[in-house]
Amino acid sequence: MSGDWLSTLPDTAHGLKVQRPAVSDIAMPAGYSEALPLVDPFEAYSFQSFRRTNADGSVTYALPTDARHDNSAGVIHGGLLMTFADSVLGYCAWSACPPNSLCVTVSQSSSFLRAGRVGDLIEVTPVVTRATRTMIFTRGEFLVAGEPIFQAASIWKVTGK
């Protein structure tokens, strides 16, 4: 099931060896062209996501889920959804972040519309709703087969490097 994308991922991030448990068994979803490098060690450790750029310039992200992602009730753990949200809303916020600055999460609101099931492919096209000199507001609606299961909105603080 391993694709060529696997060889493009870095082995280390910020001087730390990246742990990728059995990532080679995750296939690139249909319609996607790129595996996220996931330079954050916790993301590289806990999931693999993919992206494509759409004709209008927006970016859609996809997260394949499997048995490593469930909770004690047997459905997708809210923590995975919130972590994926922090990741993709972060990419979105960073795209609006001025040069020579960085942004950090100040607040995230997460709503769980229905349970995600093991095996679901979760897709999102996050947007920047407002950007000021010091703050960036982002949100995303997370879909399974076109139906929303989860939504998140976050506020990012722009800081100097």
What is the 3-class SS of the chain, one letter each residue? CCCHHHHHCCCEECCEECCCCCHHHCCCCCCCCEECCCCCHHHHHHCCCEEEECCCCCEEEEEECCHHHECCCCCECHHHHHHHHHHHHHHHHHHCCCCCEEEEEEEEEEEECCCCCCCCEEEECCEEEEECCCEEEEEEEEEECCEEEEEEEEEEEEEEC
Work out how close the CB of 56 gets to other proteins at its nearest, in angstroms, rounded to a whole number.
Answer: 28
Of the ranges 26-34, 41-49, 53-61, 135-143, which one interacts with other proteins (CB under 8 A)? 41-49
Q: Which residues contact 64 (CB under 8 A, 6 or more apart)?
A: 26, 27, 29, 48, 50, 121
Q: Give the angle 114-130-46 at the CA atoms, nearest 5°.
A: 45
- Position among 28, 32, 43, 143 found at the interface with other proteins (CB under 8 A): 43
Structure tokens at 93: 């916020």
Scan residues 95-134 and list those touching other proteins (CB under 8 A).
102, 104-112, 115
In the bound state with other proteins, the residue whose beta carbon lies nearer, of 131 and 152, is 152
Work out how close the CB of 43 gets to other proteins at its nearest, in angstroms, rounded to a whole number.
Answer: 7
- From residue 58 to residue 97, the character string flagging contacts with other proteins as x (rule: CB under 8 A) and all else as - is ---------xxxxxxx-xxxxxx-xxxxxx----------
Work out how close the CB of 69 gets to other proteins at its nearest, in angstroms, rounded to a whole number.
Answer: 5
Work out how close the CB of 68 gets to other proteins at its nearest, in angstroms, rounded to a whole number.
Answer: 7
Work out how close the CB of 123 gets to other proteins at its nearest, in angstroms, rounded to a whole number.
Answer: 18
Of the ranges 24-32, 34-42, 123-131, 135-143, which one interacts with other proteins (CB under 8 A)? 34-42
Which spans of this chain sit near other proteins (rule: CB under 8 A)? Answer: 13-14, 16, 19, 39-43, 45-46, 67-73, 75-80, 82-87, 102, 104-112, 115
